[in-house]
């Protein structure tokens, strides 16, 4: 079992900012991207949705690798 600190968990607002930068994603865009497999699935923590920072970073790296140059 691996323990995750609170600093390694992002809430929805932080995830939208992480992927959108200075123009955060709309939450509907985030959830649509989750259904399409573009963004990682959230984990439930005490009734709240949280995302693992490492999974978000990996998804962003995968997007950067897959872009057309």
The answer to whether residue 3 sits within a structural domain is no
Q: Could you tell me if residue 48 is inside a domain?
A: yes
Query: 57: domain range?
Result: 10-66
Q: What angle do the packed helices 27-36 and 12-20 form, to 10 degrees?
A: 80
Residue 25 lies in a domain: yes
Number of domains into which the chain is organized: 1
- Quick check: is 59 in a domain? yes
* 62 vs 1: CA distance, rounded Å: 26
Per-residue pLDDT for the chain (69 aa), expressed as one digit of tens each?
Answer: 677 777 899 999 999 999 999 999 999 999 999 999 999 999 999 999 999 999 999 999 999 998 766
Q: Please check whether residue 19 lies inside any domain of the structure.
A: yes
Q: Which residues of 22-59 are buried (b: 16+ CB within 10 A; e: fewer)?
A: eebbeeeebeeeeeeeebbebeeeeeeebbbbebbeeb
Q: pTM (2 decimals)?
A: 0.86
Q: How are beta strands 9-10 and 43-45 bridged, if at all?
A: unpaired
Residue 29 included in any domain: yes
């Amino acid at each position: 079992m691996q323990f995750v600190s609170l600093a390694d968990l992002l809430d929805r607002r932080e995830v939208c900012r992480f992927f959108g930068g200075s123009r955060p994603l709309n939450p509907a865009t985030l959830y649509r991207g989750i259904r399409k497999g573009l963004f990682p699935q959230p984990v439930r923590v005490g009734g709240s949705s949280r995302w693992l920072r490492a999974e978000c970073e990996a998804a962003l790296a995968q997007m950067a690798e897959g872009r057309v140059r």
